[in-house]
């Protein structure tokens, strides 16, 4: 097979070596525009896991790489004059030049032709090659030439960064956050040999301009950096090497091959340098592609196999890298955090490293975090920490206070419609459903969306708080929870708006009733589905009526003994329909700008707050984005949360979407938690995070890193009403069982 690799970076060289090694009969050429010893950049870093992968692919290069390595376990985080260290991370760094030397040597010894100082301008000269490897890096000209065929997508990220080096061999992987008169500067530094470290300086565009670096020469940048980081560099110098300020391009391609041309490495995809994986991805591509070609010598089939094997892994890493780069882009947001929590937030930023992983890597660090967190919870609630020798509780088992309501831990059962009531009256099903979950260990159980009027229901099976008999029916459940369990219970009050008069969930979600419909109201007369009932645009008289129904329902909830209220302003129901511009097209004082769209929901909030006891909290559930063009965004959600806070709201439950049927949500594990993180820090209000949260490791990480104050599980609690008890057992935390069940202590669940 005749193979031409355009680009002699890690991807091109490694692939060439692996192919030649697999079959010496292959004719393999690498064409590189630079000289052999002419590289940009300083060091690269690999994790221990990546090295194992290399060992399996080619022992010789692996051994050379390992010999050249500087290895370290620690991450140092410099922040507000302190250094927080976390250990056990297992990284190795080496100079990029040394890596290229090793790969070039290996290529030569295997008989690969290396052509340096040859710039490929068009592929005509390689027409007769069986395979052309486009390994020409992030600015790939080959990709650009066939941009449509590859379905190229480049997203330029807003932050500015410059790739520098230093003669100070930082002893650990080092992150520095330093503020000066211009703003906050971030440094990513790691040693690559005994005398040198890579030093990437990053900041926002605004800070960069304020510092005048938009007009700086390379020497100006070096001088600026040496001065700003004089303390951290301990008298050492900053080194430059084509050190120009850049924006990071996130590169994606819908297809990685076209005819016999295949994209690898940075030409195919990039992952932000904060996850240190660009070279790893490039070399792993080379491994996967060479294996695919060994399995199947038909080039088109092999290229297809390569892409289908690699794509999921690459995209998963790109997702993690995206969250990581966004964390760095918005690091200003976290500046109020104390150093230990800032460190936790940084280390768990991609949501892949959890409290549990960190505990394995560095138990001392996690113990410090847990202690700090538990002490904060003790101060916030006035409940003293258990005295030693009792161990520090993990974050999820610390208490939390909202007004006078003290929750014994951080786990909440999310409100979930049961569609099992008659004319709004909850019954035995609701008693067992909510009672069972209250006995399951969660500190707070939120009863399902309960409607303030018969016409405000989603379905004929929804619960209500609009008839005198509802008070007694709810009181029976509330009393059970209070008398028989340590949990507290909240009621979620709502009006379904344009999403009302529909079938029970298992008969068709949001589908109109076949008969027996009731008239609907909403912010604007837009049906949910094109074939749904058209709601009537609310008049001021309607608005007064519904507001008063909320007030009356709140009074009834107090009479029933609920500990807390949640107002439902999410998922496209009535109050949410005012907030979203997709469902509110009003031209009066309640439509238009966000401030105006929020007027009626705030009016309802104020009216409810006025009658709800001052000692008891109210949370509001919002959709932090509509996931639809022209709809609400996370930035809007921050403003909504800040306004609610100013009106006395105690916490925001951060959900997303369900406003319009054509939404395009990006689902995944903890997919709504980044919205909670942002709202909590930018609006300065406690948050409850919900959505695909299923492990106690995630709950502990979220809480310890300050991404939310409470963790809410819906389906997790349908699956396992005793989720919290099981999480306690898994963590050896002593959560008291009901007396009736005490014998469970001597039972060992074998399946877990």
CB of 448 to ligand FMN, least distance (A): 4
SS3 234: coil
**Full DSSP string of 447-505:** EEEEESSGGG-SSTT-BBS-SHHHHHHHHHHHHHHHHH-S-EEEEEEE--GGG-SB--G
CB of 691 to ligand FMN, least distance (A): 5
- Secondary structure of 543-577 in HEC code, one letter for each residue: HHHHHHHHHHHHHHHHHHCCCEEEEEECCCCHHHH
If contact means CB under 5 to 8 A according to the sort of partner, which of ligand FAD, ligand FMN, none does residue 714 touch?
ligand FMN
Site for ligand FAD in 42-71 (CB under 6 A): 44-45
If contact means CB under 5 to 8 A according to the sort of partner, which of ligand FMN, ligand FAD, none does residue 6 touch?
ligand FAD
If one asks whether residue 200 binds ligand FAD (CB under 6 A), the answer comes out as yes
If one asks whether residue 6 binds ligand FAD (CB under 6 A), the answer comes out as yes
- The site string for ligand FAD over 127-146 (x = CB under 6 A, - otherwise) reads --------xxxx--x-----
Reference 641, options 653, 657, 632; nearest CA is 653
The pairing of strands 536-537 and 564-569 is unpaired
Residue with Cβ nearer ligand FAD (277 or 724): 277
CB of 711 to ligand FMN, least distance (A): 9
The pairing of strands 536-537 and 444-451 is unpaired
Alpha carbons 107 and 66: distance in angstroms, whole number: 18
CB of 186 to ligand FAD, least distance (A): 12
* Length of the chain in terms of residues written: 752
Q: Check: CB of residue 654 under 8 Å from CB of residue 675.
A: yes
Could you give the angle at the alpha carbon of 373 between the alpha carbons of 370 and 378, nearest 5°? Answer: 120
If one asks whether residue 266 binds ligand FAD (CB under 6 A), the answer comes out as yes
> And the tokens for 99?
């890596």
If contact means CB under 5 to 8 A according to the sort of partner, which of ligand FAD, ligand FMN, none does residue 702 touch?
none
If contact means CB under 5 to 8 A according to the sort of partner, which of ligand FAD, ligand FMN, none does residue 134 touch?
none
Please list, residue by residue across 466-505, b when 16 or more beta carbons sit within 10 angstroms of its beta carbon and e when fewer do.
Answer: beeebbebbbbbbebbeeebbbbbbbbbbbbbbbbbbbbb
From 38-46, 664-672, 711-719, 740-748, give the range in contact with ligand FAD by CB under 6 A.
38-46
Contact residue for ligand FAD among 134, 282, 302, 444 (CB under 6 A): 282
Residue with Cβ nearer ligand FMN (16 or 490): 490
CB of 327 to ligand FAD, least distance (A): 17
DSSP character at residue 349: T
Contact residue for ligand FAD among 33, 53, 467, 482 (CB under 6 A): 33
Binding residues for ligand FMN, per CB under 6 A? 414-417, 448-449, 492, 505, 568, 621, 655, 690-693, 713-716
Residue with Cβ nearer ligand FAD (35 or 483): 35
Could you give the angle at the alpha carbon of 278 between the alpha carbons of 674 and 19, nearest 5°? Answer: 140
Residue with Cβ nearer ligand FAD (10 or 591): 10
Question: Catalytic residue at 573?
Answer: yes
> And the tokens for 472?
């007694």
Q: Catalytic one among 14, 573, 590, 600?
A: 573
If contact means CB under 5 to 8 A according to the sort of partner, which of ligand FAD, ligand FMN, none does residue 31 touch?
ligand FAD
- State the residues that interact with ligand FAD by CB under 6 A: 6-12, 31-34, 41, 44-45, 119-120, 135-138, 141, 163, 200, 265-267, 273, 276-280, 282
Active site residues: 573
């Amino acid at each position: 097979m005749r193979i031409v690799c355009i680009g002699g970076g890690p991807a091109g060289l490694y692939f060439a070596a692996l192919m030649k090694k697999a079959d010496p009969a292959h004719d393999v050429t690498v064409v590189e525009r630079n000289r052999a010893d002419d590289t940009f950049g300083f060091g690269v870093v690999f994790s221990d896991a990546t090295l194992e992968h290399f060992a399996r692919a080619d022992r010789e290069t692996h051994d050379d790489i390992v010999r050249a390595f500087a290895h370290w376990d620690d991450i140092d985080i410099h922040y507000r004059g302190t250094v927080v260290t976390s250990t056990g991370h297992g990284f190795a760094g080496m100079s990029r030049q040394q890596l290229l030397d090793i790969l070039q040597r290996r290529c030569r010894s295997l008989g690969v032709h290396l052509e340096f100082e040859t710039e490929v301008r068009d592929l005509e000269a390689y027409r007769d090659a069986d395979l052309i490897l486009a390994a020409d890096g992030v600015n790939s000209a080959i990709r650009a030439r066939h941009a449509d065929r590859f379905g190229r997508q480049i997203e330029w990220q807003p932050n500015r960064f410059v790739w520098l080096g230093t003669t100070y061999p930082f002893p650990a992987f080092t992150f520095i956050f330093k503020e000066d008169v211009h703003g906050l500067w971030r440094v990513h530094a790691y040693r690559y040999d005994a005398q040198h470290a890579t030093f990437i300086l990053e900041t926002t565009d605004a800070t960069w301009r304020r510092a005048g670096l938009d007009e700086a020469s390379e020497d100006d940048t070096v001088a600026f950096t040496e001065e700003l980081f004089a303390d951290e560099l301990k008298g050492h110098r900053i080194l430059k090497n084509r050190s120009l300020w850049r924006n990071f391009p996130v590169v994606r391609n819908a297809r990685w091959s076209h005819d016999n041309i295949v994209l690898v490495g940075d030409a195919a995809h990039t992952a932000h340098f904060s996850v240190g994986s660009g070279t790893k991805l490039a070399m792993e591509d080379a491994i996967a592609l060479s294996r695919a070609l060994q399995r199947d010598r038909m080039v088109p089939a092999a290229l297809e196999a390569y892409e289908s094997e690699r794509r999921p892994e690459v995209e998963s890493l790109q997702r993690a890298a995206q969250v990581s780069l966004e964390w760095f882009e918005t690091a200003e947001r976290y500046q109020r955090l104390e150093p230990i929590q800032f460190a936790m937030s940084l280390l768990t930023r991609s949501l892949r490293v959890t409290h549990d992983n960190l505990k394995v890597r560095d138990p001392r660090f996690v113990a410090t975090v847990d202690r700090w967190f538990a002490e904060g919870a003790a101060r916030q609630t006035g409940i003293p920490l258990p005295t030693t020798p009792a161990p520090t509780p993990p974050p999820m088992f610390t208490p939390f206070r909202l007004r006078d309501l003290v929750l014994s831990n951080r786990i909440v059962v999310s409100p979930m419609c049961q569609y099992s009531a008659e004319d709004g009256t909850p019954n035995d099903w609701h008693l067992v459903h909510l009672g069972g979950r209250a006995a399951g260990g969660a500190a707070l159980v939120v009863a399902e969306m309960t409607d303030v009027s018969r016409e405000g229901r989603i379905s004929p099976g929804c619960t209500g708080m609009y008839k005198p008999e509802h008070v007694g029916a709810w009181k029976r459940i509330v009393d059970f929870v209070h008398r028989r369990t340590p949990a507290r219970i909240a009621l979620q009050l709502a009006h379904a708006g344009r999403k009302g008069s529909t079938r029970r969930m298992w008969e068709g979600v949001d589908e109109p009733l076949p008969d027996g419909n009731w008239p609907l109201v909403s912010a604007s007369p837009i049906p949910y589905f094109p074939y749904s009932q058209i709601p009537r645009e609310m008049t001021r008289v309607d608005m007064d009526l519904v507001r008063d129904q909320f007030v009356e329902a709140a009074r009834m909830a107090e009479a029933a003994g609920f500990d807390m209220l949640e107002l439902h302003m999410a998922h496209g129901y009535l109050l949410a329909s005012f907030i979203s511009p997709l469902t509110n097209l009003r031209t009066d004082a309640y439509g238009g700008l966000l401030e105006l769209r929020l007027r009626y929901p705030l009016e309802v909030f104020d009216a409810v707050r006025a009658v709800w006891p001052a000692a008891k909290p109210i949370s509001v559930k919002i959709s932090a984005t509509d996931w639809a063009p022209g709809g609400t965004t996370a930035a809007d959600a921050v403003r909504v949360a800040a306004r609610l806070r100013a009106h006395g709201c105690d916490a925001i439950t951060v959900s997303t979407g369900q406003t319009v049927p054509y939404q395009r949500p990006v689902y995944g594990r903890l997919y709504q938690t980044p919205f909670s993180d942002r709202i909590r820090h930018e609006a300065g209000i406690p948050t409850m995070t919900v959505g695909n949260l299923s492990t106690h490791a995630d709950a502990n990480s979220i809480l310890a890193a300050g991404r939310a104050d409470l963790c809410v599980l819906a389906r997790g609690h349908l699956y396992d009403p005793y989720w919290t008890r099981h999480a306690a057992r898994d963590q050896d935390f002593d959560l008291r069982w009901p007396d009736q069940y005490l014998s469970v202590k001597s039972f060992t669940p074998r399946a877990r």
